[in-house]
């Protein structure tokens, strides 16, 4: 009776709950999962309109941009919109002091003026297919984690090869629900992507890192690119003969705007979430990993930003670097605060008590799941010291730029010591390294990196487990008495890696016998010691323990699904195409504080501060505001909206994702989350989790009225209110 009573209570508490606004759903499964619920909330589209392999659908207008963001096709000539911060790296690489596109912006006046962006790719999903049965063929419960992984790998590779034989497509099988399901994704990647429009930083980065992850936002976070294709509209390497890509589908734009509680749909490539972690995993992330990582990143940021404030050249060189470090630095701070605010670990522990009671309610459940939670506790205890040392190696040791640069020479050293290596092998390696050297030093300041080196080595010496410290620290203590500043100064005085001319001269005449010069170089020695400790000791330990955690997590996920049969589970994000639904909404971040759901251009002017780089306002924008010259882009209330918030569940990778209305029209470009809701990668809080989107009308206003690029406006299908 006691167990039956507990079981009844559990079922009552875990009644069907999958239809909240939480979740990142697989588009292919939207029909069977929750399309009716979405339509009840206001969606006017069918499941086939969202995802189809038989005819064009919304999925054909959504691309993965650069491997880490999302973009949307908005014209029949392959024009795409994404975030300014997603295109920032490409824009920086194309910039110089003579053509400072980061600061001043850029707008191509014709197709011929659009600038090739080497290294930028966009990927379109062709179709996806459930291949769980085929991938798990031959797998059994008697296998250990390594044996299981080997069988799955062999099966997956065989399926991938067969799926794209004779085509130009790519194939990748990805695990879902921690390896309880597998899907085959067929895609095509376009490598000729050209810059069409870049905002001046006073619009595209307005508010800088201060406003990042915060609401209210007034950042015009968008950039414009175009996909080019070769013969037959297929992907092709860059060629002047390539032509704009003709998409199967492109998004129509709505000028109608939005009201509170309006339905919204975000379609994109979210990177990573871990919603089904145990309390042990959440505690590790929020209370141990995040504080350590943010502390180390803070040191690097302080050094970089101090130099950026003093030099226009340094600001140009380090904007993208600092932005990359700061983005998740601030996110991790907010994530940990959010978990504490909702008492997330205690909530997880309370649920785990219910799970344990359910697992103990029958002999079959107990045999499969009864010992899971104690096993989790034990493995996380073993994981912690290895994890902490790995963070120091990656965030501190490999956070030193010259160390990462020197690591690129390891392959040259390896082949130089191999008697089978040919002169052509050496020549190829030399030319590749020369190219990398020019790219590295274009955006590098030794004086900044030297300070970073001192700070990072000092942090490692004082914070790491001595048993995991790289061997070079013994030498630094012996020869420099742990005076890291003197050590760093000496390295930069004698190392060839500290000067581009020295590196290029060395490579120009390099032959295999010169490998001893690299081996003896103090920077290469520092790098080798740091990487050796990681590769020799930490990576094997991390791999072994994470394999154990993954195995437990797979079984736990299966238990969660079995325990809550009435619930429809969404899989964690894994950089595959997903939809998230919600509504335009405000929120209350703290007692007696309410945030409205949109911002306006007036807020930009209120934040203006000419003495602070991040809060300088473009003169053209000021003039248009003074004249209230908003054209067709003003809201019905007469103001020009800049951004808005909604309750869509998003994460990294959703940057640049289209925000669609009930009719599937583009009303915004997702670019951020509110700081109070950044815990959503671990736990979703419907009261606080909000995605932040750029109002598409502000995007069009800037393109048309500020940039004067009406040719781009004429390409799009814009629906009037």
Positions annotated as catalytic residues are 85, 221, 655
CA distance linking residue 9 with residue 6, whole number of Å: 5
Write the CA distances from 259 to 214, 401, 586, 691, 718, integer angstroms.
21, 47, 11, 16, 19
Distance linking the first and last C-alpha atoms of the chain:
62
Q: Work out the angle at residue 113's Cα, subtended by the Cα atoms of residues 111 and 115, and round it to the nearest 5 degrees.
A: 100
Q: Which of 691, 652, 680 is nearest to 65 (CA)?
A: 652
CA distance linking residue 229 with residue 190, whole number of Å: 7
Q: Tell me if 78 sits within 8 A of 244, measured CB to CB.
A: yes
Q: Tell me if 267 sits within 8 A of 30, measured CB to CB.
A: no
- Partners of 130 in beta bridges: 183
Q: Which of 345, 346, 374 is nearest to 360 (CA)?
A: 374
- Output the DSSP codes for 24-82: -B-GGGHHHHTHHHHHHHT----HHHHS-SSS--GGGGEEEETTTEEEEE-STT-EEEE
Q: Tell me if 245 sits within 8 A of 251, measured CB to CB.
A: no
SS3 state at 201: helix
Burial 169-205 (b: 16+ CB within 10 A, else e): bbbbbebbbbbbbbbbbbbbebbbbbbbbbbbbbbbb
- Output the DSSP codes for 687-716: TT--EEEEEHHHHHHIIIIIS--HHHHHHS
- Strand duo 122-130 + 106-107: pairing: unpaired
Q: At what angle do helices 484-494 and 472-480 cross, to 10 degrees?
A: 100
| 576 phi/psi in degrees, rounded to 5 | -105, 160
In sequence order, what are the residues at sequence separation of 6 or more whose Cβ sits closer than 8 angstroms to the Cβ of residue 362?
3
Burial 371-385 (b: 16+ CB within 10 A, else e): ebbeebeebbeebee
- Partners of 593 in beta bridges: 590
| 639 phi/psi in degrees, rounded to 5 | -95, 165
- Strand duo 115-116 + 106-107: pairing: unpaired
CA distance linking residue 135 with residue 173, whole number of Å: 9
In sequence order, what are the residues at sequence separation of 6 or more whose Cβ sits closer than 8 angstroms to the Cβ of residue 459?
295, 296, 299, 392, 396
Strands (DSSP E) contained in 391-479 are none
Q: Work out the angle at residue 78's Cα, subtended by the Cα atoms of residues 73 and 84, and round it to the nearest 5 degrees.
A: 60
178: left (phi over 0), alpha (psi -120 to 50) or beta: left
Exposed, middle or buried: residue 13 (CB in 10 Å: 0-12, 13-18, 19+)?
Answer: exposed
């Amino acid at each position: 009776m006691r167990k039956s009573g507990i079981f009844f209570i559990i079922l009552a508490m875990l009644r069907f709950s999958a239809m909240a606004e939480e979740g990142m759903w697989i588009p292919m499964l939207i029909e069977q999962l929750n399309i009716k619920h979405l339509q009840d909330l206001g969606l006017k589209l069918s499941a086939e309109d969202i995802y189809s392999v038989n005819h064009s659908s919304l999925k054909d207008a959504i691309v993965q941009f650069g491997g880490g963001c999302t973009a949307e096709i908005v014209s029949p000539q392959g024009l795409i919109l994404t975030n300014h911060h997603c295109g920032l790296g490409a824009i920086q690489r194309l910039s110089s002091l003579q053509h400072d596109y980061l600061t001043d912006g850029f707008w191509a006046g014709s197709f011929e003026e659009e600038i090739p962006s080497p290294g930028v790719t966009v990927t379109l999903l062709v179709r996806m297919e459930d291949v769980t049965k085929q991938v798990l063929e031959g797998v059994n419960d008697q296998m250990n984690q390594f044996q299981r992984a080997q069988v799955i790998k062999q099966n997956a590779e065989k399926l991938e090869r067969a799926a794209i034989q004779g085509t130009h497509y790519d194939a990748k099988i990805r695990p879902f629900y921690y390896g309880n399901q597998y899907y085959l994704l067929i895609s095509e990647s376009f490598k000729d992507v050209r810059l069409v429009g870049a905002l001046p930083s006073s619009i595209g980065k307005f508010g800088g890192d201060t406003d990042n992850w915060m609401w209210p936002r007034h950042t015009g976070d968008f950039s414009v690119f175009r996909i080019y294709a070769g013969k037959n509209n297929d992907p092709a390497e860059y060629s002047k003969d390539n032509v704009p890509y003709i998409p199967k589908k492109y998004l129509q734009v709505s000028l109608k705007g939005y009201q509170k509680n309006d339905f919204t749909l975000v379609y994109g490539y979210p990177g990573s979430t871990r919603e089904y972690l145990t309390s042990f995993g959440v505690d590790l992330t929020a209370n141990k990993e995040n504080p350590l990582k943010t502390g180390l990143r803070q040191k690097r940021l302080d050094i970089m930003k101090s130099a950026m404030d003093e030099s226009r050249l340094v600001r140009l060189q380090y904007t993208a670097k600092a932005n990359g470090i700061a983005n998740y630095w601030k996110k991790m701070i907010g994530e940990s605060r959010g978990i504490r605010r909702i008492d997330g670990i205690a909530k997880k522990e309370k649920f785990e008590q219910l799970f344990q009671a359910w697992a103990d309610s029958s002999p079959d459940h107990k045999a499969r799941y009864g010992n899971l939670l104690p096993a989790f506790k034990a493995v996380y205890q073993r994981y912690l010291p290895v994890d902490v040392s790995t963070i120091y190696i990656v965030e501190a040791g490999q956070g030193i730029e010259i160390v990462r640069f020197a690591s690129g020479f390891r392959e040259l050293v390896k082949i130089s010591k191999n008697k089978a290596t040919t002169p052509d092998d050496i020549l190829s390696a030399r030319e590749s390294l020369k190219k990398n050297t020019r790219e590295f030093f274009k955006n590098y300041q030794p004086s900044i990196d030297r300070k970073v080196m001192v700070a990072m080595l000092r942090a490692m010496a004082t914070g790491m487990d001595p048993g995991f410290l790289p061997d070079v620290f013994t030498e630094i203590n012996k020869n420099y008495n742990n005076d890291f500043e003197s050590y760093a100064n000496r390295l930069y005085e004698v190392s060839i890696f500290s000067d581009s001319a020295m590196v290029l001269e060395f490579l120009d005449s390099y032959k295999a016998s010169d490998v001893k010069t690299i081996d003896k170089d103090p920077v290469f020695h520092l790098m080798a010691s740091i990487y050796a400790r990681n590769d020799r000791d930490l990576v094997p330990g991390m791999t072994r323990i994470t394999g154990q955690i993954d195995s437990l997590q797979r079984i736990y996920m299966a238990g969660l699904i079995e325990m809550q049969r009435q619930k429809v589970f969404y899989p964690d994000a894994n950089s595959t195409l997903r939809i998230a639904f919600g509504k335009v909404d405000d929120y209350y971040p703290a007692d007696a504080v309410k945030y409205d759901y949109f911002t306006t251009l007036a807020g930009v002017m209120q934040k203006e501060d000419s003495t602070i780089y991040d809060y300088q306002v473009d003169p053209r924008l000021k003039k248009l505001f003074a004249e209230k010259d908003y054209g067709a882009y003003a809201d019905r209330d007469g103001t020009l909206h800049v951004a808005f918030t909604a309750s869509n569940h998003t994460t990294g990778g959703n940057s640049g994702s289209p925000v669609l209305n009930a009719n599937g029209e583009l009303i915004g470009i997702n670019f951020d989350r509110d700081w109070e809701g950044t815990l959503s990668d671990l736990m979703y809080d419907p009261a606080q989790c909000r995605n932040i989107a750029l109002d598409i009308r502000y995007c069009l206003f800037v393109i048309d009225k500020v940039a004067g690029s009406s040719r781009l406006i004429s390409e799009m299908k814009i629906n009037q209110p």
